[in-house]
Amino acid sequence: MAKVFISGASGGFGREFAIQLEAMGYDLILHGRDRVRLQLTLDALQHPKKHLCLIADLAIPEEVEQLISRLRQEDELIALVNNAGFGVWGRFVERESVLQQEVLQTDLMAPMHMSHALLPALLKRKGFMINVSSLAAETPLPCLASYAAAKAGLTFWSEALRTELAEKLRVVTLAPGPSPTGFRDRSGMVAGKGSFFRTSAGEVVSQALQCLEQGGGYCIPGWRHKLLFVIQCLTPRCLSLKLMYKYLRL
Ligand X SMILES: NC(=O)c1ccc[n+]([C@@H]2O[C@H](COP(=O)([O-])OP(=O)(O)OC[C@H]3O[C@@H](n4cnc5c(N)ncnc54)[C@H](OP(=O)(O)O)[C@@H]3O)[C@@H](O)[C@H]2O)c1
Q: Which residues bind ligand X (CB under 6 A)?
A: 8, 10-14, 32-34, 37, 57-59, 83-86, 106-107, 132, 134, 176, 178-179, 181-183, 186
- Give the H/E segment covering residue 28: strand 27-32
- Give the H/E segment covering residue 3: strand 3-6
Residue nearest to ligand X (CB): 12
Q: How far is the CB of 112 from ligand X (least distance, A)?
A: 13
- The nearer residue to ligand X, 76 or 156, going by C-beta atoms, is 156
Q: How far is the CB of 166 from ligand X (least distance, A)?
A: 24
- The nearer residue to ligand X, 76 or 232, going by C-beta atoms, is 232
CA distance 174 to 24: 19
Q: How far is the CB of 77 from ligand X (least distance, A)?
A: 18
- The nearer residue to ligand X, 85 or 216, going by C-beta atoms, is 85
Q: How far is the CB of 8 from ligand X (least distance, A)?
A: 3
- The nearer residue to ligand X, 48 or 182, going by C-beta atoms, is 182
Q: How far is the CB of 27 from ligand X (least distance, A)?
A: 19
Q: Which residues contact 171 (CB under 8 A, 6 or more apart)?
A: 128, 129, 130, 131, 158, 161, 162, 165, 216
Are the beta carbons of 7 and 81 closer than 8 angstroms? yes
CA distance 56 to 33: 5
Q: How far is the CB of 230 from ligand X (least distance, A)?
A: 17
- What is the DSSP track for 177-244? ---SSSHHHHHTPPTT---TT---HHHHHHHHHHHHHTT-EEE--HHHHHHHHHHHHHS-HHHHHHHH
Give the strand pairing for 128-132 and 170-174: parallel
- The nearer residue to ligand X, 104 or 125, going by C-beta atoms, is 104
- The nearer residue to ligand X, 32 or 216, going by C-beta atoms, is 32
